Amino acid sequence: MPSSTAPAPSDAPPSRPGAKELLAFAYRVAADAELVTSLPLDPQGRTWIRLEGPGGSEAWLIGWPPGAGTGWHDHGGSYGAFATAAGRLTEQSLAARLPTEGWKLLELADGIDRERQLEGGNGRAFGPHHVHQVFNASAEHAVSVHAYYPPLPMMRRYHRSGQVLRLEQIEWAQEWA
Ligand SMILES: [Fe+2]
């Protein structure tokens, strides 16, 4: 068969990136010292650069001054991955699948809290029901790479008091534009 009839690889439709690919992307970008150091840092708050994620995913390079954090949130049904490129971040997450709709207050079961420290190029992938908060508890600036697929349609923000999680706000992607 003449090779000229074969479609060029660039003509192939992009495949949906899996969580592993998003994490590989996060690791790859986290190791790109030139890009990581190009991020402007602000001691007063987070800074970010939008990146081109693999396969149409949404990706960000984010700078975290000491004390900066996200608060509890989910990712609107997207899955994703992130990796620390500089410094150290703390992730607290819930090892339970929460109902996504129809509640304002939820009493969390005991024993579902997880905490991990991410530094030195370490990262993690997460599924579409992941609820977490990420913060910089260290005394140094941290930089991380995040990727989500599908691009975040919305995020639910939660307030947590003890074992009670309260839905506080739904942020839609249009509001970030
Ligand atoms: Fe998140």
Is 55 domain-assigned?
yes
Indicate the helix (H) or strand (E) that contains 79.
strand 79-86
Q: Residue 123 forms beta bridges with which residues?
A: 83
Residue 47, pLDDT score: 97
Burial of 7 (0-12, 13-18, 19+ CB in 10 A): exposed
Q: Are 87 and 143 contacting, i.e. CB atoms less than 8 angstroms apart?
A: yes
- Ligand 1 centroid–CA 177 distance in Å is 18
Number of domains in the chain: 1
**Tens-digit pLDDT profile for residues 134-173:** 999 999 999 999 999 999 999 999 999 999 999 999 999 8
φ and ψ at 67, to 5 degrees?
90, -15
Is 113 domain-assigned?
yes
**Tens-digit pLDDT profile for residues 8-49:** 555 555 679 999 999 999 999 999 999 999 999 999 999 999
Q: Is 146 annotated as a binding residue?
A: no
- Ligand 1 centroid–CA 128 distance in Å is 11
Task: Give the range of the structural domain holding residue 154, as residue numbers without chain letter.
Answer: 16-175
Is 61 domain-assigned?
yes
**Tens-digit pLDDT profile for residues 47-91:** 999 999 999 999 999 999 999 999 999 999 999 999 999 999 999
Predicted TM-score (pTM) of this structure: 0.89
- Ligand 1 centroid–CA 84 distance in Å is 13
